[in-house]
């Protein structure tokens, strides 16, 4: 019997000098980037947490601790692919994904389409089932002062249909 679950994810990284800005696996031209033990891709981290949430599998900090040297510079795409394997082993696959990136800078509209296509590719779903929204912080708070970028993600998963398999 088909079943559905929903999951929510959130992530924040500080915006600093001398780091590349990578969002949804896309390198975005900007003088500053996100600090972190990993590649600090807030979008892929939030989406991975949403998938783990939907599958009741915990959070990415439990699977990829930032105290583990093996996770230094960890590519968000590698992290998300690992999470998707765990989600599939638990019997779930993604249906759609909605994302809000909270960033005062840079303007993300030119990159949104590439972000959406890359996120869809990683999730193995149609780009029409992925949505990227961007919001400034209206110059208020840490986001508004461009001290950090945050991301929220919601993912729907459905049970993997095993009826067609041997
Ligand atoms: O207009 P509203 O207050 O809802 O949102 P906003 O935060 O002022 O953002 C206005 C528009 O800029 C939206 O269409 C966002 O998609 C876009 N935006 C962007 O392209 N890049 C950002 N870093 C933030 C917002
Ligand atoms: Zn993160």
Atom of ligand 1 nearest to the CA of 106: 23
Residue bearing the CA closest to ligand 1, atom 2: 135
Helices and strands (H and E) in the chain: how many: 5, 7
pLDDT in tens, 44-55: 999 999 999 999
The pLDDT of residue 98 = 98
Task: Assess whether the previous peptide bond of 106 is cis (omega < 30° from 0).
Answer: yes
Kindly state if the Cβ of 134 falls inside 6 Å of ligand 1. Answer: yes
Mean pLDDT of the chain: 96
Alpha-carbon torsion (92, 100, 124, 71), positive or negative: negative
- Report d(CA 80, CA 96) in Å as an integer: 15
Kindly state if the Cβ of 83 falls inside 6 Å of ligand 1. Answer: no
Query: For the chain, what is the radius of gyration of the CA atoms?
Result: 16
Kindly state if the Cβ of 107 falls inside 6 Å of ligand 1. Answer: yes
Alpha-carbon torsion (70, 57, 93, 165), positive or negative: positive
pLDDT in tens, 98-147: 999 999 999 999 999 999 999 999 999 999 999 999 999 999 999 999 99
Among the bound ligands, the one closest to the CA of 37: 2
Which of the pair, 148 or 71, is modelled with greater confidence?
148
pLDDT in tens, 64-87: 998 989 889 999 999 999 999 999
């Amino acid at each position: 019997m088909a079943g559905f679950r929903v999951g929510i994810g959130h992530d924040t990284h500080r915006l600093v000098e001398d780091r590349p800005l990578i969002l949804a696996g896309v390198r975005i031209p900007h003088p500053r980037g996100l600090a972190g033990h990993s590649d600090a891709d807030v979008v892929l981290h939030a989406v991975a947490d949403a998938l783990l949430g939907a599958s009741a599998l915990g959070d990415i900090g439990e699977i990829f601790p930032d105290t583990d040297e093996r996770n230094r510079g960890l590519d968000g795409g590698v992290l998300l692919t690992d999470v998707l394997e765990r989600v599939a082993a638990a019997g779930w696959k993604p249906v759609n994904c909605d994302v809000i990136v909270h960033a005062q800078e840079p303007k993300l509209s030119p990159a949104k389409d590439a972000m959406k296509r890359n996120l869809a590719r990683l999730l193995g779903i149609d780009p029409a089932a992925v949505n990227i929204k961007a919001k400034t912080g209206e110059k208020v708070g840490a986001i508004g002062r461009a001290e950090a970028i945050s991301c929220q993600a919601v993912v729907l998963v459905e049970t993997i249909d095993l009826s067609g398999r041997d």
